[in-house]
Chain A
Amino acid sequence: SQKIEQNSEALNIQEGKTATLTCNYTNYSPAYLQWYRQDPGRGPVFLLLIRENEKEKRKERLKVTFDTTLKQSLFHITASQPADSATYLCALVISGNTPLVFGKGTRLSVIA
């Protein structure tokens, strides 16, 4: 079965720096990856989607890369702010009608 690993349980960075979160997967190559943000006591909120034939996707201060050779996706937040503090989940779909499989998430804390 598909296995997803997200780097470390928590990541602390200084405000203004770039946060980089990692999502590694094994076995099958996903058709696409999604990234979600989850705040305490709330459901996940969709941020970005990247397809297998895309290398990079950007949205404002967010950037996602997808390396099918390394079986890895990187999620970057540039000029990070304390409001970016949350848990970030990656999720992947193998193909067709298979549903999303989520990683356990990485908790990001941006320190002012």
Chain B
Amino acid sequence: DAGVIQSPRHEVTEMGQEVTLRCKPISGHNSLFWYRQTMMRGLELLIYFNNNVPIDDSGMPEDRFSAKMPNASFSTLKIQPSEPRDSAVYFCASSSGLAGAYNEQFFGPGTRLTVL
């Protein structure tokens, strides 16, 4: 298995532009998580899906952030408009079972986003 796949690996954009991050979870996993990691705040959960349905989006910082999971093999995280404070590494992770189940999460390599 190729593991969790994220694209792009690096994204540099200017303030105000729309940014779309993509994730392909491990086949057979039914939970998908989007995280943001910064030095200051560590690894923060933004949103997670179970069976393609958003379960908890309380970590989404504001309306500029949105996430979708149109099918079991694809998810997007969109930021519109982007701001410099959105600069961070964004991780996608997947697991089998429900979010709190006794299952490990498998992380993708991350997308390093820089907003100028």
Residues in A lying within 8 Å of B, measured CB to CB: 31-32, 34, 41-46, 49, 51, 89, 93-105
Residues from 86 to 116 in B contacting A, C-beta threshold 8 Å: 91, 93, 98-102, 104-110
* Given known A-B contacts A103-B42, A104-B42, A98 and B100 have beta carbons under 8 A apart: yes
Known A51-B102, A99-B33; 19 more pairs at CB < 8 Å: A34-B104, A41-B109, A43-B91, A43-B109, A44-B43, A44-B91, A49-B102, A49-B104, A94-B100, A97-B98, A97-B99, A98-B100, A99-B45, A99-B48, A100-B45, A100-B99, A102-B35, A102-B44, A104-B41
Size class of the B contact interface (CB-based, 8 Å): 20 to 34
Contacts of B12 in A (CB 8 A): none
In-complex Cβ contact of B108 among A43, A98, A102 (8 A): A43
User: How distant is the Cα of A105 from the Cα of B109 in the complex, in angstroms?
Assistant: 18
Per-residue 0/1 for B36-59: is the Cβ within 8 Å of any A Cβ (1 yes, 0 no)?
A: 000001111100100000011000
In-complex Cβ contact of B100 among A46, A51, A95, A105 (8 A): A95
* Given known A-B contacts A97-B98, A100-B45, A46 and B33 have beta carbons under 8 A apart: no
* Given known A-B contacts A43-B93, A45-B107, A99 and B42 have beta carbons under 8 A apart: no
A106: min CB distance to chain B, Å: 11
User: How distant is the Cα of A104 from the Cα of B35 in the complex, in angstroms?
Assistant: 13
User: How distant is the Cα of A49 from the Cα of B102 in the complex, in angstroms?
Assistant: 8
- Cross-chain contact A105 with B42 (CB below 8 angstroms): yes
B42: min CB distance to chain A, Å: 4
In-complex Cβ contact of B43 among A32, A42, A51, A89 (8 A): A89
User: How distant is the Cα of A51 from the Cα of B98 in the complex, in angstroms?
Assistant: 17
